[in-house]
Amino acid sequence: MTTIYDSIRPIVWRNNKLYLLDQRILPKEYTEIELLNAQQVAEAIRDMVVRGAPAIGITAAYGVVLAAAIRHAEDPANWKQLIQQDIKVLAASRPTAVNLFWALEHMQQKIDAIDGNPFEILKTAADKILQDDIDANIKMGRLGAQLIAPGSKAVLTHCNAGALATGGYGTALGVIRSAFSDQRIEHVYADETRPWLQGARLTAWEMVQDKIPVTLLAEGAAASLMKQDKVSWVIVGSDRIASNGDVANKIGTYALAVLARHHGVKFMVAAPTTTVDMQIAHGDAIPIEQRSQDEVLSCGNTRVAADGAAAWNPAFDVTPAALVDVIVTEKGVVENPTTEKIAAMMNA
Ligand code: MRU
């Protein structure tokens, strides 16, 4: 029997409140944070209580549900107007993941069509965004795993594109879960992912929860890993895919794609269609979040850099489509992505 490796849910709606697993303190502590309004939700996204493109979008959708309940109770005649300031606050939380803007636009369309009390309709819409994301990840997991030859031994991933970064199951880690379950791979290498350590803290934790053997490395070690023929694929997620197939993802992804091409290692991007931005012609147009210098100058909360040094801390980079061997979405597999192939996949 196939084992389903899927035990983690980072976003939970309970008793009319939103609960997020606090990813800032995992794996040391497993703590949920309770959120009551859009302002708190936006802060949680900005502070990385929740992170990862699909998870940010789902969380923002529940932020709209909380806001609608408050605004409708406050002024039933004008709630649609009042909620616009909440949607603006949510939209300003983080700039790169297009799933955030997709989810807010989707909820706005529901709002436009509501006549009467908005709560049930918006809550149902947010639940559906969450469930659709999990379903998409399971599909992508199967499609992506089929590309990995049985006996491939190990793959390399970067950042955390797992259950924690989504509604559940994960994008890149969904492919890895599925490939491990199919016995196509035995092992996962995970970049620690400086400066926020999503790999060391979150990906490693997820893999351990699901009993998938995981080995961490500093991203500077990835070239040697590939040179020694230890991995057949690099598998990553994405925060935004431009309509030509350029891929924004965690800083360091571009370097991995260059290394993979040099060493003949295949490069796979797994992302739901909610991550594809058909409004953007190429990756140069993707807004890249710059985060605080302190994240680089410190490790944990301890300052490690020499006093007086500055730091450059872009949170994401863009991998050109030409370095991507395959993009996997819930709608299908796009090999050697081009504008035409991405459009055909989106319209499928
Ligand atoms: O800064 P983060 O932790 O939100 O960055 C997350 C990533 O870069 C993920 O790889 C991406 O969002 C895909 S998540 C399925």
Say how many residues make up the chain: 348
52 lines ligand 1 (CB under 6 A): yes
Q: How far is the CA of 53 from the centre of ligand 1 (A)?
A: 6
**pLDDT recorded at residue 90:** 98
**pLDDT recorded at residue 2:** 52
Nearest 5 degrees, angle CA 348-CA 111-CA 78? Answer: 165
Q: 154 forms bridges with which residues in the sheet?
A: 187
**What average pLDDT does this structure show over 108-128?**
97
Taking the CB of residue 144, how many other CB atoms lie within 10 A of it?
26
| 151-176 pLDDT per residue, tens | 998 999 999 999 999 999 999 999 99
198 lines ligand 1 (CB under 6 A): yes
Q: How far is the CA of 23 from the centre of ligand 1 (A)?
A: 12
**pLDDT recorded at residue 1:** 40
Could you give all domains of the chain from N- to C-terminal order, each with its CATH number?
A: 11-135 (1.20.120.420), 140-346 (3.40.50.10470)
Per-residue confidence at 7, pLDDT binned at 50, 70, 90? confident
Q: What is the mean pLDDT of the chain?
A: 97
Cα–Cα distance between 191 and 121 in angstroms, integer?
Answer: 41
Ramachandran category for residue 267: left, alpha or beta (phi over 0 → left; psi -120 to 50 → alpha) = beta
Which tokens in the block code for residue 155? 């793959």
Which tokens in the block code for residue 16? 């009319």
User: Could you give the count of Cα atoms lying within 13 Å of 204 in the half-sphere of its Cβ?
Assistant: 17
Q: How far is the CA of 67 from the centre of ligand 1 (A)?
A: 25
Q: 35 forms bridges with which residues in the sheet?
A: 18
Which tokens in the block code for residue 63? 């932020």
* Probe residue for ligand 1, chosen from 239, 254, 273, 289 as the CB with the greatest number of ligand atoms within 8 Å: 239
* Probe residue for ligand 1, chosen from 22, 94, 134, 160 as the CB with the greatest number of ligand atoms within 8 Å: 160
Q: How far is the CA of 288 from the centre of ligand 1 (A)?
A: 12
Using an 8 Å Cβ cutoff, are 91 and 99 in contact? no
337 lines ligand 1 (CB under 6 A): no
Which tokens in the block code for residue 6? 């899927």
- Residue 275: is its pLDDT beyond 60? yes
| 301-348 pLDDT per residue, tens | 899 999 999 999 999 999 999 999 999 999 999 999 999 999 999 999
**Where do the H-state alpha helices sit in the chain?**
38-46, 53-74, 79-91, 98-113, 119-145, 172-181, 204-209, 222-227, 253-263, 294-297, 339-347
136 lines ligand 1 (CB under 6 A): no
Which tokens in the block code for residue 218? 């500093």
> What SS3 class is residue 34?
strand
51 lines ligand 1 (CB under 6 A): yes
Q: Which residues are catalytic?
A: 239
**What average pLDDT does this structure show over 270-288?**
98
Q: Which of 187, 233, 191 is nearest to 207 (CA)?
A: 187
Q: How far is the CA of 76 from the centre of ligand 1 (A)?
A: 37
166 lines ligand 1 (CB under 6 A): yes
Q: State the DSSP code for 211.
A: T
315 lines ligand 1 (CB under 6 A): yes
Cα–Cα distance between 1 and 312 in angstroms, integer?
Answer: 49
On whether the pTM is more than 0.85, the answer is yes
| 21-44 pLDDT per residue, tens | 999 999 999 999 999 999 999 999
